[in-house]
Structure 1
């Protein structure tokens, strides 16, 4: 099978790029969307059907199309789900919106490119001598495409057992990553749960547990004990951040922003004003400055920048007030399974005091894996073959400003792109819909510009 474009992955990035390609490409073009998910386009984040899983961005900013900012809001109105641009809609509804928008494009009576959904995993992707790329699929089939976009995201971080006792073989009480299917159904109402990590994913899991009838104690352990801040309603308009002049240093940038807040500017408005400049600022930092940011400032960036819906924050605060949820700041030292449960030992932050939590479950919500490719056989094979390079900070893969993969000699692979979280090393802020949709449109436009009639390969079989 041969195609003009292959999108590898079946989550938001792939569907967003497909939507733009259908607008840009001629009707004789062909697109393959390759992924093993049964529900193309929704991915883990938007497949949930739980109403308390809310978007972290208001509906008025969640259109899949940058040039049609009210598209999601219009969909909500059409389906009787609200008409407030400040609404934090459910993630399940957003997944349905993505499905509907792609379906409407595919049903269009206007001439459009051919789209084939191939439910399979790719295990290898290698450049062809004539400039295209050949795939090996795990079902034994082969696929060839002139242009390729990797939309595979990054995997979840592994259970932090490097400083902990090794779990028993086949352990059923240590959940290596929280999206592991089936574990929630095994939790009893009174079970004691310890969640490792205190970010957005932790909040999702806490609310999911309570929504499914769990009433036992929940302990949250992270090195700093920081949790995401809420949005305010109604929101305040963003203000331009006061940035230091001259060479960019993390310390000078933080000093300038803190001074602006100390002078009376609400910090949320400063953070929102910083958002359009974040990618530019990140790219102006040296590798040493980026590394310093990741070591020292990242946890505070995350809780201020990636905020949660007010109603989600209120539900979380009620659990804290009731005492059923406790936040612990400390450093994990051991995880030991015993006959009566699991013992989690940690050292309290800023002390040498050791504490132990006796729980029935330990759930890993520590974020994304460093290096970002361990979840994908395809990406690991491409690395072994020298087709992709890992970002030096472990944030994904090396790409240029147009999202094209870089080779070892510093040149780009023509027609080979990555999208979404895989490109965080270059763009940093590239995990939220408002950022990915711009990248998706840009990639689709570059592909369309490359596809002159004499450069397209024919569609076969």
Structure 2
């Protein structure tokens, strides 16, 4: 192994919040470890995902500022950092701050972590004896030309999986809206007010694209189309469930063995109590409830209830919701969007099929969990190489059998249901570092 660098104690692969949380957890608990951080290809690796590296203040987090810290032992760290480093921003608890401020926080925390940083795509990951070899594509360590590294332990923090591309998509179809947004000039957008923009999907990325278009001065028609035809719900104050109600909810869920029964319990309690409090009461137990369902029932949840759950679980700032409702040139429609063999964009709904004449189409259908192991992603390659084992749902992977390899975040979806929000990311990072320390591996 003399041809490549000496081993690091830990290699973290992935440039988003999960990677940052893992670097911070390792540095706090094992300060003597040599850390290697493979942040991914530029410019994404330097920007901590496009959603956190933009130049717009209207693109805001959908979680209050005091809950976004990446240190499991100091979850208000992001709020404290803003108050300390940017007092002029006058941040207060409960505020939904711009995403770019979170990106600044990530960068500040990483600069203080003292880890070697690589930019470039990881091509292969293989274990030789007790050492993992990481082969890199374009990039390498900053200041070095090495294309391979070795480490005793590896944490895969790969972020949200990309969706499948739309076959036969025309040239005005934007498959990656965040990359498109970041490449725009400082002012304006490439469509006129007399033209129509189509936004495919109505999740949080769609919300950001709509707000961004309006901020840039576009006043034309925006048509948002999704199967459910609804935005995410808005945050609102909700007192926690009373202890006796929470106990009754837990007892009812303990008796529910099918997806239909679980949803029936939730609907019953949401009809009699504030629905936000009901959903929030499930947060700590969601993964255990999910694991208790049989695989066929898990598939039913994903097929029939995943969109409804996301709209209620992942809420947006109230004033953002109000701005969307007040936009007279914005329509939210139910339907499914497709592209035919001639590149025409089609909308299918209960009334039939319609060809849409739009100047721009932004694909905001969200992460491709159902396609997570398709294509040539690193996750898919590691499954094909036998390094990782696919979860039966095909939405992610199982926890690796090798204790020196771990997976953190969205790639565990399927094995876990709640796995991509900041509280889960920071807790997973701490748990794995503690396990390594206790086991001595």
Gaps of 5+ in 2: 139-145
1:331 paired to 2:336: yes
The one-character-per-residue Cα deviations of 1:30-61 (angstroms, maximum 9, x if unpaired) are 11001234554722222123111111111121
Given candidates 2, 8, 12, the residue that maps to 1:3 is 8
1:53 paired to 2:55: no
Superposition deviation, residue 179 in structure 1: 2.1
The separation in 1 between residues aligned to 2:119 and 2:354, in whole angstroms, is 48
> What is the TM-score with the length of structure 1 in the denominator?
0.84
Q: Partner residue of 1:435?
A: 424
1:195 paired to 2:206: no
The one-character-per-residue Cα deviations of 1:320-361 (angstroms, maximum 9, x if unpaired) are xx1x11122123354577xxxx8532222xx34333321111
> Residues 73-88 of structure 1 correspond to what in structure 2 (within 5 A)?
73-78=79-84, 79-80=86-87, 81-88=89-96
The one-character-per-residue Cα deviations of 1:125-170 (angstroms, maximum 9, x if unpaired) are 0121x22211211147221111001111233213444xxxx23xxx
**Per the alignment, do residues 374 and 33 of structure 1 end up closer, same or farther by CA in structure 2, a change over 3 Å counting?**
farther
Given candidates 239, 246, 260, the residue that maps to 1:251 is 260
Equivalent pair of 2:373/2:394 in contact (CA under 8 Å)? no
Equivalenced residue count is 413
**Per the alignment, do residues 276 and 377 of structure 1 end up closer, same or farther by CA in structure 2, a change over 3 Å counting?**
closer
The one-character-per-residue Cα deviations of 1:289-344 (angstroms, maximum 9, x if unpaired) are 1000011111110111110011211211111xx1x11122123354577xxxx853
Equivalent pair of 1:374/1:380 in contact (CA under 8 Å)? yes
Superposition deviation, residue 105 in structure 1: 4.1
Between 91-100 and 290-299, the greater mean CA deviation after superposition: 91-100
**Per the alignment, do residues 181 and 346 of structure 1 end up closer, same or farther by CA in structure 2, a change over 3 Å counting?**
closer
1:449 paired to 2:422: no
**Per the alignment, do residues 278 and 383 of structure 1 end up closer, same or farther by CA in structure 2, a change over 3 Å counting?**
same
For the aligned residue pairs, the C-alpha RMSD in angstroms reads 2.2
Q: Partner residue of 1:288?
A: 296
Q: Partner residue of 1:423?
A: 412
**Per the alignment, do residues 211 and 373 of structure 1 end up closer, same or farther by CA in structure 2, a change over 3 Å counting?**
farther
1:217 paired to 2:221: yes
Q: Partner residue of 1:102?
A: 110
Superposition deviation, residue 429 in structure 1: 0.9
1:92 paired to 2:100: yes
Q: Partner residue of 2:249?
A: 242
Superposition deviation, residue 23 in structure 1: 1.1
Superposition deviation, residue 237 in structure 1: 3.4
Instruction: Please give the secondary structure, in 2, of the residue aligned with 1:427.
Output: coil
Between 94-103 and 289-298, the greater mean CA deviation after superposition: 94-103
The separation in 2 between residues aligned to 1:7 and 1:308, in whole angstroms, is 31
> What is the TM-score with the length of structure 2 in the denominator?
0.87
Equivalent pair of 1:10/1:37 in contact (CA under 8 Å)? no
Superposition deviation, residue 440 in structure 1: 1.2
Equivalent pair of 1:52/1:90 in contact (CA under 8 Å)? yes
The separation in 2 between residues aligned to 1:132 and 1:274, in whole angstroms, is 40
Equivalent pair of 2:224/2:332 in contact (CA under 8 Å)? yes
**Per the alignment, do residues 55 and 393 of structure 1 end up closer, same or farther by CA in structure 2, a change over 3 Å counting?**
same
Q: Partner residue of 2:143?
A: none
Q: Partner residue of 1:110?
A: none
Gaps of 5+ in 1: 107-114, 400-404, 406-411, 456-461
> Residues 313-324 of structure 1 correspond to what in structure 2 (within 5 A)?
313-319=321-327, 322=328, 324=329
1:206 paired to 2:207: no
